[in-house]
Amino acid sequence: MKPYEAAQIRNVALVAHHGVGKTSLAEAMLFLSKSTNRLGRIADGTTLLDYAPDEIQRKMTINLGLAQFEWAGHKVNLLDTPGYPDFVGDVYSALRVADAAILLLRANAGVEVGTEVVWETLRQEKTPTLLVVNMMDKEHANFTSAVKSAHDRLGLNAVPTQLPIGEAETFHGIVDLIEQKAFTFSGKGMEEKSTEVPIPAEMASVVAAARARLMEEAATGDEKLMNKFLESGDLTVPEIRKGLCERVVQGDLSPVFCCSAFHNQGVKEILDEVVDILPSPLDVRPATGQATNGGDPIVCAPEAGQPAAALIFKTLSEQHLGDLSLVRVYSGRLEAGRELLNTTRSRPEKLSTLYYLVGKERLDCAAGLAGDIVAAVKLKETHTGDTLAEKARPVVLAPPDFPSPVTAESIHAKNKGDEEKMAQGLARLHEEDPTFLKHFEATTKEMLVFGMGDLQLEVMVDRLKKRYGVEVLLTRPRVPYRETIKGKAQDEYRHKKQTGGRGQFGEVHLRLEPLKRGEGFKFVDEVKGGVVPNQFIPAVEKGVIAGMEKGPLAGYPVVDLQVALFFGKYHDVDSSEMAFKIAAETCFHQGMLKANPVMLEPIDEIQVRIPEEYLGDVMGDLSSRRGRILGTESDARHQVIKAQVPGAELYKYAAHLRSITQGRGMHRAKLSHYEEVPREIADKLIAAARAEKEAGAHA
């Protein structure tokens, strides 16, 4: 495949609810472009795009797929994204670099849950969007109803550029409103053929009205076109396409097409309009990055003669072939053997082999020009979200803005000795999908993994086993409770031990008092008269800090208190740093028990975004989780609930929220502060900790 200039490139993301036919549409496009000699089928695992073993096993798209092909003198870079919300990270990756998107609807369902989720991302990214009503051959297919649902539920200005001839079992053709032509289909799949026919007489009035609306919408964004349309009532085919392209780029119109992707009916017509209506990299706003020296923002114009600037937006890991980095070239050109600067990490990076991808197949790439997407092999210093640029113009491009994870589990290797392999595997899996995170929680001594849902974590566990030979268990994470005091107290302790030779002696008197929540720990030296020599005072502080690591109630870290050393005693021979450290640790625990000790729990600040009809159910559910509702506000067609909820009550909340909102609710949460645990819950936690300690002592 030859290098293409930006004007002839179309970077298009396929997005939709799960199971609406994105991959089937992509496979049909690949077949029509002669990139493959067959139509891949998801059901039998023969697609070029869903080729990973877990995708074939689950019969669903899990990873972002890239299909690059030529059509009508243009190069199309088609990004096939997952539809399941657990893998939404790849949707963000694709939309970060796509200049446009094709949003698919099911003809017999219209806008579904996943459609709303994807549309929110498209809206945030301001991505020009083309709408395709797929599965027109399915039972109860209704083109008009599907288009209306896009208007009503998404607020989308969806304007048909085609009308179907027949629906469901009678679907057998389309009317092209732009060119005023009708086509009927004969055969299906690889045998499909379309034949131009007269527009059916019974559709004449409907077609005339739909075409008049289409021309009016096309003319709205251009004063000259509007004047011509008002004067003559007509526009030429090139004028309609020009006007549609301008409206699509502005984001206030989405042309609507219809097809049966599985049977390859109507796909050719969509492909024609992809290159005629959707924008090239020249038609959209050029990328702007930050200068590494903190200077003014740098505009990276999509011109091959400019200094190179490119963004790594996705890493694909293939077990026997290594990593592939998908790179969007925003300006300049990339060539094998060229050394660039990783401006994100300030490290040099030499490019080795470059490829174009057709799903799992690789094609040689001589150079990637501005506006194009290429795959780079084995980048050593560069990762997802990094920028590659020339040293003469060091610019950093914004990485994909991935959503925060919504679920967490504790992960343990089944076999001792596999911890290092597990850690390496987790790091590689994060490289592939940045929404999958790992973190070692020092408080609970647990390795935690975070993700967008249970299915994503299940897939990652399966990959750990099959790719890296590590079997793991996922369990509920322990809550990182804290301990503190509400009152003041003082205590003393003498550590004295004689073993025949030099003994151990240290006596400390400590005063404990609470601090405001979040103030941490303060140590105060109030010793007078040298009753504790200066050289031993740091040891006393170390002893207190050691005692704070495991509080006396349930063994959780102690926070928010002040400890003052105000008296003590020492021995000229037997006193040592160790003796004073031991004395301080014991005295601290004794003093805490006298100072009205309490347990603290993490409180999360949570925002839940839901359709208004679920407002009462979700607020009631949050209240049942000991949550405090802070307020609600409107956001487009949704309500956003703001609340504070104990972190202990939010385990698997994402799955529960999807359940009570039919998948339409989304949330994000972050740690806000710590609060005192209710007495009845604290008593249970303390009893459980003591039982665990006793069981360990007898083990």
pLDDT, tens only, 512-523: 999 999 999 999
- Secondary structure (3-state) at 78: strand
The crossing angle, in degrees rounded to 10, of helices 113-125 and 89-97 is 40
Give 33-85 pLDDT, tens digit per residue.
999 988 888 888 889 999 888 899 999 999 999 999 999 999 999 999 999 99
C-alpha dist (Å) from residue 632 to 608, 639, 656: 9, 7, 20
**What is the DSSP secondary structure assignment for residue 648, as one 8-state letter?**
G
Q: What is the pLDDT of residue 698?
A: 64
Q: What is the pLDDT of residue 26?
A: 95
- For the chain, give the mean pLDDT: 93
CB 537 within 8 A of CB 528: no
Location of structure tokens 């209306």: 148
CB 526 within 8 A of CB 565: yes
Question: With 80 as the cut, is the pLDDT of residue 498 above it?
Answer: no
**10 Å Cβ neighbour count for 448?**
16
Among candidate residues 112, 99, 108, 94, the one with its CA nearest the CA of residue 154? 112
CA 597 to chain centre: 41
Residue 320 — very low, low, confident or very high, per pLDDT cuts 50/70/90? low
Give 344-361 pLDDT, tens digit per residue.
999 999 998 999 999 989
**Torsions phi, psi for 542 (to 5 deg):** -60, -40
Percent of the chain whose pLDDT exceeds 90: 82
**Torsions phi, psi for 190 (to 5 deg):** -70, -20
Q: What is the pLDDT of residue 202?
A: 95
CA distance 64 to 23: 11
Residue 636 burial (CB < 10 Å; 0-12/13-18/19+)? exposed
Residue 183 — very low, low, confident or very high, per pLDDT cuts 50/70/90? very high
CB 194 within 8 A of CB 184: yes
Residue 577 burial (CB < 10 Å; 0-12/13-18/19+)? middle
CB 26 within 8 A of CB 68: no
For the chain, list the domains and their CATH numbers. 6-197+252-277 (3.40.50.300), 287-396 (2.40.30.10), 407-475 (3.30.70.870), 483-595 (3.30.230.10), 599-680 (3.30.70.240)
Give me the mean pLDDT over the 599-607 stretch. Answer: 96
CA distance 435 to 455: 13
Residue 319 — very low, low, confident or very high, per pLDDT cuts 50/70/90? low
Q: What is the pLDDT of residue 699?
A: 57
Residue 378 — very low, low, confident or very high, per pLDDT cuts 50/70/90? confident
**Torsions phi, psi for 619 (to 5 deg):** -65, -40
- The secondary structure of 534-545 as a DSSP string is GGGHHHHHHHHH
Query: Does this model's pTM top 0.85?
Result: yes
Please give the span between the terminal C-alpha atoms of the chain, in angstroms, as a whole number: 67
Among candidate residues 319, 326, 349, 320, the one with its CA nearest the CA of residue 336? 349
C-alpha dist (Å) from residue 384 to 81, 83, 90, 241: 17, 21, 12, 36
Encoded amino acid at 209, one letter: A
Among candidate residues 168, 277, 141, 301, the one with its CA nearest the CA of residue 218? 277
